[in-house]
A and B are shown apart, each in its own frame.
Chain A
Amino acid sequence: MLDFKPNEKEIEKIGKFSIEEKNFRIENLKNFNSVGFPNKLVEDWKFSDLRHIVSKNFAKLDLKLKPSKEENFDFIKDFEHNYIVLVNGRLTSNSFQHEDNSQIVINPYLNKDFSNKKEKNPLINLNYALSIEGFNLEVKDNYKFNKVLVIYNLFTKDLNENILNSQNRIKIGKNSELHVFDYVINKSEKNFFNNVYEDLYLAESSVFKNISIQKNRSNGFFHKFSKNILSSKSNYSSFIFPLGLKFDKLDLEFNLEGENIECNLQAASFLNKGDHQEIKTRVNHLAPNCKSYQKVKNVIDLDSKGVYQGKIFVKNIAQKTDAYQLSKAILLDESSEFDSKPELEIYADDVKCSHGSTSGSVEKDSIYYLMTRGLSKNESVKLLINGFLSEIIVSIKSKTMKNFIEQKLLSQIYEH
């Protein structure tokens, strides 16, 4: 059993901090050390026993902080873009060549808000305690990006049972618009654990669109907590395609703080070879007339597991809320598992909320039909899986993006 209890001295190795920050970090470290990695007895982790997963896959967890150099990697050539590069979570370079640079702030970032004293999530405690600098990106008011921003998340070859903690923040000003393409490139051949805390703030009438995908299968174990604050008339949309991650938990909180907000989250993944993927959301409708939409689709093969925990909270004043949530899974093998826990907590009376969840095997009749047209069983199943997942891709508006994602997803399916 791996006993991971970092010493307070690890905090000093990260940098020199004010007394306040140091105490904040020490406090959070104590919290983490008192409970350790959560196991399945903790409600939020009941389908993803992280303690078990970590001790099964790691002999040690190394906090080494020696900054890694940027390794060579291929930039995306399919579409023009701005970029920032994160190496093991640390901001190393950026280019906003398609933009008016006076409208953008980009710099290394560490959270300086020490007000959260009661954090209960041990992974956030761990991050608060030991985080290094990630990036801060601010888009000023009334600025719409001309081209998409690609965030290259590079994980280096020298990683070997390391645990990385970093923090990022994105803030979009009033009437501004940013499209982000989150691209994870993994060079590590050994296991590593990446624990990220992210803040996103959308000011009034701003637009944020995001697509996340991995370039390749990875030995990474990922946890990300993302706190999203949306102001009135803002528009958030995110398409997530987690592919080939040994463990991945996305814990997303949305606070819809103003009126007429649209919040749209869709995910499609093909899980195999023991992948474990959880998406957990909490959408807080705190003001009237907002719309939230969530759709999660999983195809789950050998020894793999998909989890979706989605909670919708509607405050009493949040009348005319329109909240939708659906998860669907196809299980390809007896060893595949899908767990879903939808939750509604509604205190307003004039709302439209719906949720649903289905899981099952590939339709036998569909396989039969396709086979009578000459396709092999394997080809039929792949075509059906692709059809199942492509429903999410189809709703991406940009054609270049759509093609790019489709290729990536297809190659995953056809490789298997």
Chain B
Amino acid sequence: MLEIKNLKASINNKEILKGVDISIQPGELHAIMGPNGSGKSTLANVLSGKDGYEVSGELKYQGKDLINIPIDERAQKGIFLAFQYPTEIPGVNTNNFLKTSLNKIKKARGEKEMDTLSFIKMIKEKSNELGMNENMLSRQLNVGFSGGEKKKNEILQMKILNPNLAILDETDSGLDIDALKTVAKGVNSTRDKNKSFLVITHYQRLLNYIKPDFVHVLADGKIIKSGSMELAEQLEKTGYKGIN
């Protein structure tokens, strides 16, 4: 699904990713942990195609080179990023945005666009599954949403857009215990043998619910250790200093 080899990324001549290697097969869920400022969000941004980075190394998605593909095309090809800090967009109605986005992606996949009625029905169902009040979706996109509501809105988008590769950047941070479970359920319900996840988190708690296949530790722009769930448990006890 995703091959990352010796990936380096700099911004304003500052090197942030210093040679990252990760390989994700279809159906796998990988977790990335690591200290603040180690480059986790940068990695997520580079994977989704954000401008402004000087990128080198190898980045292959479904066997094809990704580096020169623009952001919107990556999304259309099935890469989804749930933001650590979802952007507030005044004046843009959440429902309209969701529908525009979904139909754009459906169109790119050669699927039939969704009419308003079926869309409303679908969105109602999916938002209720996440314990979201669907009235929220008639508000401006993320404007005035609480921290947790923003995160749920990201997961809602993930469920609607049905990506092949979902990158979740600290989606669990700022969620209450019940919301965390709901979000984990949201992730688990979309897992199947064709879909892959890259989950960035600081806490083992989320991983208890979603059971990663691999856990990587990113420190100072490099993967310093990879392992199974036990690595996350060890980290919880010793902290990042206990590694290496």
B72 CB-CB contact with A under 8 Å: yes
A375 touches B89 (CB 8 A): no
> Which residues of chain A from 374 to 402 have a CB within 8 Å of any chain B CB?
374-377, 379, 383-384, 386-391
Task: Tell me the residues in window 64-98 of chain B with beta carbons closer than 8 Å to chain A beta carbons.
Answer: 70-72, 74-76, 80-81, 83, 86-87, 89-92, 97
Quick one: which of A357-389 are within 8 Å of B by CB? 363-366, 368-377, 379, 383-384, 386-389
Instruction: Give the residue name and chain of the A residue nearest to B76 (CB).
Output: A374
B158 to chain A, nearest CB (A): 11
**Is the pair B75, A371 in contact by a Cβ cutoff of 8 Å?**
yes
Q: Which residues of A contact B70 (CB under 8 A)?
A: 371, 377
| Total inter-chain residue pairs, C-beta < 8 Å | 73
* Count, chain A residues at interface, CB 8 A: 23
Decide if A383 touches B72 in the complex (CB within 8 Å). no
| Contacts A374-B104, A375-B104, A383-B92; A366 near B72 (Cβ below 8 A) | no
Report if A384-B161 is in contact (Cβ < 8 Å); known contacts: A373-B75, A376-B72: no
- Smallest distance from the beta carbon of A257 to chain B beta carbons, Å? 36
- Shortest distance from the beta carbon of A386 to any chain B beta carbon, whole Å: 7
Q: Known contacts being A371-B72, A372-B75, A372-B80, is A387 close to B101, with CB within 8 Å?
A: no
Whether B91 and A377, one on each chain, are in contact in the complex, defined by CB atoms closer than 8 angstroms, is no
A interface, over-half SS? helix
Interface residues on B, range: 20 to 34
Residue of chain A at shortest CB distance from B89 = A366
Chain A residues in 8 Å Cβ range of B51: 364, 368
Contact between A375 and B81, CB atoms less than 8 A apart: no
Bound state CA distance, A363 and B90, in angstroms?
11
In the bound complex, residues from chain A placing their C-beta under 8 Å from that of B100 are 375, 379, 383
- Docked-complex contact A369 and B75, CB < 8 angstroms: no
Q: In the assembly, what is the distance between CA of A338 and CA of B140, in Å?
A: 26
Chain B residues, Cβ within 8 Å of A383: 92, 97, 100
Tell whether, in the assembled complex, residue B90 and residue A371 are in contact, meaning their CB atoms are under 8 Å apart.
Answer: no
A377 vs B50: C-alpha distance when bound (angstroms): 12
| A370 engages B76 (CB within 8 Å) | no
3 closest Cβ pairs, A-B complex: A387-B91, A373-B101, A371-B71
Q: Could you show 15 A-B contacts with beta carbons less than 8 Å apart?
A: A363-B87, A369-B86, A372-B80, A373-B101, A373-B105, A373-B157, A374-B72, A375-B104, A377-B70, A384-B89, A384-B91, A386-B91, A388-B91, A390-B91, A391-B90
